[in-house]
Structure 1
Amino acid sequence: MKKQLIAAAVLSTLLSGAAFAQQTTEGPWMVRARAVHLDSSNSDSTGLGLSVNNKWMPEVDVSYFFSPNVAVELVLTVPQKHTVYSNGTDIGRLKHLPPTLLGQYHFNANGFKPYVGAGINYTRFSGVNVLGGVATLDKDSWGPALQVGVDIPLSRNLYLNFDLKKVYIRTDVKAAGTKVGEFKVDPLLVGVGLGWRF
């Protein structure tokens, strides 16, 4: 009886070790490329009815897995150009660059790998030309970011990815150096793409 218990314990240890080894054969890194639709909430306290256009944009992220469940993700894109509107009238242009850093928890649901994330966004505004330079924006925005998504395995290291993020981006609007209100972009980002685990 004692030999059977020892054998069962050894077998259990070997199986759990094999399962862990299988989970980690992919390596700790993952890179995803997505097409993302930016849908801005567009609210402001200036009385100008400010908004920016919605658009599709490219996005790349790099993730590092500390364990099969816990990862950190850095989300990157290129500077994005937007048209600025006041109550639907074109009043200028701006660019923004919004890298985001997220901590994530990944689940394993019969091969599918849903995840949730939370972190921080930094947005740098540049190329601002609103009302011929009469209005200016603060160049820096810091805010929280929330995320849900899923990786669906296509092959050993290749995944189909669906991702949804809410990012809080806002900036002070000034005229002649005086703050006249706050503009909140606060976009919802809906993305689809491919991920490579290595």
Structure 2
Amino acid sequence: MKKLLAAALTGAAMLATPAMAQADEGKIQFKLLGTYVMPDGEITSVNTDIVGLPAGTQTTASDNFVPTLAIEYFVSPEFSIETICCMTQHDVDAVSGLTGAELVSDGKLIPATFTAKYHLNAGDVKPYVGAGATYFWWVDAEPGADTIPLGVTRTTLSDEFGFVVQAGVDIALGDGGMGVALDAKRYFVGTTARWYAGDTLAIETEHDLDPWVLSAGVSYRF
């Protein structure tokens, strides 16, 4: 009987050990990341054009590298909810029709993003996948240098909802909560660009932004 009781206690201890280790990982994780943002910026339609854009005019948005803060809450060891905080800045240039012309200057964007993530438990290396929603909030945009001589006085980019998918990996560095993080996101969201001459809408175009967002940095979980 004593041997049976000892065996039962040993088995219970072995089962409890992983659970205790998971509990010790903490429910909150902060990540400080360097993030490379690669938007598309292609024109998908021209709604208004009183200027007379050259046939085949096409655009692209510039890439940008920014610091990013990610905050993550673990509902369970496998599931978490994450949000990010950053501001990224882009120009929009013509690549055909008006080749090389700067059309939008210093467009400042806050990509408010929330994702739900599923984590695979592979010891100190934990891959994950996720998906969620985003709201692209344009804080500011200025007329491009090559539009001002044409009489453009104001440029706007519309705020839009979209969705995002992601994949990445968290790598623990010891037992103190520190780690390394690698993350890739693909956004699916557009914007409407408008150029005004005084109060007159001169050009309105629809654009696919759909950026790839690649991040790497350090994490702390507690």
Match of 1:195 in 2: 219
Match of 2:60 in 1: 51
For 2:26, what is the secondary structure of its paired residue?
A: coil
d(CA) in 2 for partners of 1:160, 1:20:
23
Q: Please tell me whether the aligned partners of residues 40 and 61 of structure 2 are also in contact (alpha carbons under 8 angstroms).
A: no
Pair 1:147-2:166 in alignment: yes
| CA-CA distance at 1:191 after TM superposition | 0.8
- From 113, 138, 158, the equivalent of 2:178 is 158
Q: Which amino acid aligns with 2:78?
A: N
Match of 1:92 in 2: 104
RMSD: 2.2
Tell which deviates more after alignment, 167-176 or 25-34: 167-176
Q: Which runs of 5+ in 1 are unaligned?
A: none
| CA-CA distance at 1:187 after TM superposition | 0.5
Tell which deviates more after alignment, 173-182 or 102-111: 173-182
Q: Please tell me whether the aligned partners of residues 95 and 125 of structure 1 are also in contact (alpha carbons under 8 angstroms).
A: yes
Q: Which amino acid aligns with 1:43?
A: E
For 1:68, what is the secondary structure of its paired residue?
A: coil
- From the superposition, tell whether residues 3 and 155 of structure 1 become closer, same or farther in structure 2 (CA, over 3 Å): closer
Q: Please tell me whether the aligned partners of residues 169 and 185 of structure 1 are also in contact (alpha carbons under 8 angstroms).
A: yes
d(CA) in 2 for partners of 1:160, 1:29:
15
- The 5 Å alignment of 1:169-184 reads 169-175=189-195, 176-177=200-201, 180-184=204-208
Pair 1:21-2:20 in alignment: yes
d(CA) in 2 for partners of 1:173, 1:55:
19
What number of residue pairs does the alignment pair up? Answer: 195
- The 5 Å alignment of 1:31-70 reads 31-45=30-44, 46=46, 48-70=57-79
Q: Which runs of 5+ in 2 are unaligned?
A: 47-55
Look at both structures and tell me which one has the larger radius of gyration over its CA atoms: 2
Q: Please tell me whether the aligned partners of residues 172 and 179 of structure 1 are also in contact (alpha carbons under 8 angstroms).
A: no
| CA-CA distance at 1:174 after TM superposition | 3.5
Match of 1:186 in 2: 210
Give the TM-score of the pair, scaled to structure 2. 0.79
| CA-CA distance at 1:2 after TM superposition | 10
Give the TM-score of the pair, scaled to structure 1. 0.88
For 1:155, what is the secondary structure of its paired residue?
A: coil
Q: Please tell me whether the aligned partners of residues 31 and 217 of structure 2 are also in contact (alpha carbons under 8 angstroms).
A: yes
Q: Which amino acid aligns with 1:21?
A: M
| CA-CA distance at 1:129 after TM superposition | 2.2
Pair 1:106-2:119 in alignment: yes
d(CA) in 1 for partners of 2:88, 2:124:
35
| CA-CA distance at 1:150 after TM superposition | 0.4
Identical columns (%): 27
For 1:186, what is the secondary structure of its paired residue?
A: coil
- From the superposition, tell whether residues 180 and 90 of structure 1 become closer, same or farther in structure 2 (CA, over 3 Å): closer
| CA-CA distance at 1:135 after TM superposition | 4.8
- From the superposition, tell whether residues 48 and 173 of structure 1 become closer, same or farther in structure 2 (CA, over 3 Å): farther
- From 161, 164, 167, the equivalent of 2:187 is 167
d(CA) in 2 for partners of 1:92, 1:43:
13
Q: Please tell me whether the aligned partners of residues 93 and 103 of structure 2 are also in contact (alpha carbons under 8 angstroms).
A: yes
| CA-CA distance at 1:14 after TM superposition | 2.4
d(CA) in 1 for partners of 2:137, 2:206:
16
- The superposition leaves residues 167-188 of structure 1 with CA deviations (integer Å, 9 ceiling, x where unpaired) of 1231123354588431111110
